Amino acid sequence: MKIELKQHKSAPSQRALQTISHLIILLPQACLKAKTKKTWPTLPYGEILQQRLKRGGDASAILTTDLPNKASTHVTLSGIKDDLSRFELLTLARKLVAPHLAQNPSHIAITAAGFEDEETTTPLITAVVAALLAASSEMPSFKSKAAKPSKLRTIQLLGIKKRIDFSRTHAEAAGNNLARQLTTLPPNELTPALYRKRISKLAKAHGWKMTFLDQKTLKRKKAGAFLAVCQGSSEHDAGIVHLRYTPKTTRRKQTPLALVGKGICFDTGGTNLKPAQYMHGMHEDMQGSAVALGTFLTLSQLKVPYVVDCWLALAQNHIGPNAYKQNDVITASNGVTIEVMHTDAEGRMVLADTLVQAARLKPTLIIDYATLTGACHYSLSARYSGGFTNRDQLIDEIITAGRNSGERVWPFPIDKDFDDELKSNVADVKQCSLGGEADHILASRFLQRFVGDTPWLHLDLSSGNSKGGLAHIPTDITGFGVSFTTQLLFDNNVLTKVKG
């Protein structure tokens, strides 16, 4: 679905509003709190809006009202505080667009008035546009009575004197929407085989090179960690998808960015079977791969000038007579031997061999995405995701990229002495500990063994599902990570910093 953005230099007039059915108005909160009418910027029906806002008695609340004109223009209006964080602004944007989209309009207008300059209004406008793009994206539904599809086709920006470039907003929305749509699919609709078919269609549509490392290939590569997880499945459709985006002009010896995603299409817990309340929703355990793929789509749409690899570890963690079990010792493709401690710690197993494959191509940076541990969720809730890196210079970048993107990430330590908990009497390393203490950190120490000295960032997506939505995303499944990554790459320039 294509939504067109139309930018108009002229501010909305009373006459123009006769044909506008839905309008979002952004004003400085200072002018809403002021007692005199003179502090208000010039707006059609300004006195009526001011009176209705005053009647509500709370200048910080969102005003929702209909104007007394021919179109009965449905208006939401909010005052914007000077010190709003990006997360708070995106959250406000979600609340502003919701009353409009509930009426399923085909056109929505946005205006910002009373602000000092265009630099102030641009992030406000882009936040509202991002919220509209997120909320109007259709998620998979299998109800017999389907919901009405979104009619939104045009977003008009009124009073915008300097043209705003929305290419990144559009690309991030496309990547996030793809991640959410894939994660929403039920497990019988997104087996590894069906997932691969969807990826193949995307690869053809966008000109990506695609290869698939099936189980026979992985056996030749001695990828025992990956194969241990999928051996319990009666279907032999598991494997690693490798996608490559190459810009039209690039240096031959340029090393790529590598995105890696955990794609466990369903997680029973394996031999250490999950109880029902924890197995419910385990079709979402592939969200890391969906975010990696969504980020890959975003970067290719933005035509980044460097090579990007995307590695997706697709498998299911099933039970059965052949399923891997506690105390098995297996060997990963880099020769590291692993003592299996808990079969529900399968995510780090499939990621181990996938990271080895990614690192062998000597990328400038590896970023992996995974709904990996409950421990990270216990530590941060669904408000933040956890970040782990083997480069100290990325720690501050993780924090600032999270704050500035509105997808907040907090770094955790991965000091060497955490390895004490992973010492095995029979293998090089334990897969995990049975105590559960700091499992998100232990999982990261485990994964670090498989990237070598490659600069690496691991995102434990504790905010992959947030009841009621998060920031501008209105669905429980958030697709968290796409905007954070583009912020990290475009604004924080981390590729340059890790090279140095």
pLDDT per residue as tens digits for the range 469-500: 999 999 999 999 999 999 999 999 999 999 86
Question: What is the pLDDT at residue 37?
Answer: 57
C-beta separation of 27 from 80 below 8 A = yes
Six token digits for residue 27 = 């004003």
Question: What is the pLDDT at residue 248?
Answer: 87
Question: What is the pLDDT at residue 454?
Answer: 97
Distance of CA 309 to the CA centre of its chain: 18
The CA R_g of the chain, rounded to the nearest whole Å, is 24
Question: What is the pLDDT at residue 250?
Answer: 67
Query: How far apart (Å, rounded) are the C-alpha atoms in residues 74 and 238?
Result: 50
Angle formed by the axes of helices 439-448 and 347-360, nearest 10°: 30
Establish how many alpha carbons lie within 13 A of residue 453's alpha carbon, considering only the half-sphere containing its beta carbon. Answer: 1
Question: What is the pLDDT at residue 80?
Answer: 93
Over 60: is that where the pLDDT of 351 sits? yes
Question: What is the pLDDT at residue 436?
Answer: 81
C-beta separation of 201 from 499 below 8 A = no
Looking at the chain, the whole-number percentage of residues with pLDDT higher than 90 is 86
C-beta separation of 367 from 459 below 8 A = yes
Over 80: is that where the pLDDT of 276 sits? yes
Over 90: is that where the pLDDT of 203 sits? yes
Over 80: is that where the pLDDT of 58 sits? no
- What angle (nearest 5°) sits at the alpha carbon of residue 383, between those of residues 379 and 384? 65
Question: What is the pLDDT at residue 59?
Answer: 61
Which residues neighbour 475 within 8 Å (Cβ) at sequence distance 6 or greater? Answer: 139, 180, 184, 469
Amino acid at 306: Y
Give tens-digit pLDDT for 296-339. Answer: 999 999 999 999 999 999 999 999 999 999 999 999 999 999 99
Name the band, by pLDDT with cuts 50, 70 and 90, for residue 366: very high
How far is the first Cα of the chain from the last one, in angstroms, to the nearest whole number?
A: 42
Give tens-digit pLDDT for 404-437. Answer: 999 999 999 999 999 999 999 999 999 999 988 9
Cβ-in-10-Å burial (0-12, 13-18, 19+) of 197 comes to: exposed
Name the band, by pLDDT with cuts 50, 70 and 90, for residue 1: low
Give tens-digit pLDDT for 67-105. Answer: 999 999 999 999 999 899 999 999 999 999 999 999 999
Give tens-digit pLDDT for 102-130. Answer: 999 999 999 999 888 888 899 999 999 99
DSSP letters of 50-99? HHHHHHHT-TTSPEEEE-SSTT--EEEEEEE-TT--HHHHHHHHHHHHHH
A 10 A CB-CB count for 231 gives 19
C-beta separation of 474 from 90 below 8 A = no
Six token digits for residue 411 = 């770094």
Residue length of the chain: 500
Question: What is the pLDDT at residue 249?
Answer: 80
Distance of CA 263 to the CA centre of its chain: 14
> Is 274 a residue of the active site?
yes
What pTM was computed for the model? 0.96
DSSP letters of 423-487? --SSSSEES--SS-TTHHHHHHHHHHTTTTTS-EEEEE-TTSB-TT-BTTB-SSB--TTHHHHHI
Helix (H, G, I), strand (E, B) or coil at 311: strand
Give tens-digit pLDDT for 385-412. Answer: 999 999 999 999 999 999 999 999 999 9
> Is 222 a residue of the active site?
no
Question: What is the pLDDT at residue 253?
Answer: 60
Query: How far apart (Å, rounded) are the C-alpha atoms in residues 168 and 337?
Result: 43
Of 348, 408, 445, 449, the catalytic one is: 348
Question: What is the pLDDT at residue 402?
Answer: 98
Six token digits for residue 125 = 């406008």
What is the residue-averaged pLDDT of the chain?
A: 94
Question: What is the pLDDT at residue 147?
Answer: 81
C-beta separation of 33 from 57 below 8 A = no
Q: What are the φ and ψ backbone dihedral angles of 403, each rounded to 5 degrees? A: -65, -45
Of 198, 274, 391, 403, the catalytic one is: 274
C-beta separation of 109 from 94 below 8 A = no
Six token digits for residue 235 = 């279907």
- Give CA torsion, residues 84, 86, 87, 92, to 10 deg: 60
Query: How far apart (Å, rounded) are the C-alpha atoms in residues 348 and 372?
Result: 7
Angle formed by the axes of helices 167-184 and 287-301, nearest 10°: 160
Question: What is the pLDDT at residue 189?
Answer: 97
Which residues neighbour 101 within 8 Å (Cβ) at sequence distance 6 or greater? Answer: 132, 135, 136, 150, 152
DSSP letters of 189-238? T--HHHHHHHHHHHHHHHT-EEEEEEHHHHHHTT-HHHHHHHTT-SS---
For the ranges 166-180, 222-236, 252-266, 461-475, the lowest mean pLDDT is seen at 252-266
Six token digits for residue 160 = 């915008």
C-beta separation of 256 from 359 below 8 A = no
Nearest C-alpha neighbor of 226 from the set 318, 347, 350: 350
Over 80: is that where the pLDDT of 36 sits? no
Query: Of all helices (H) and strands (E), which one includes residue 176?
Result: helix 167-184
Domains defined for the chain, CATH in brackets: 4-163 (3.40.220.10), 170-499 (3.40.630.10)
Question: What is the pLDDT at residue 500?
Answer: 67
Over 60: is that where the pLDDT of 192 sits? yes
Helix (H, G, I), strand (E, B) or coil at 347: helix
Helix (H, G, I), strand (E, B) or coil at 260: strand
C-beta separation of 80 from 26 below 8 A = yes
- Give CA torsion, residues 311, 313, 413, 453, to 10 deg: -50
Of 2 and 274, more confident: 274
Establish how many alpha carbons lie within 13 A of residue 352's alpha carbon, considering only the half-sphere containing its beta carbon. Answer: 31
Question: What is the pLDDT at residue 126?
Answer: 97
- What angle (nearest 5°) sits at the alpha carbon of residue 399, between those of residues 396 and 405? 130
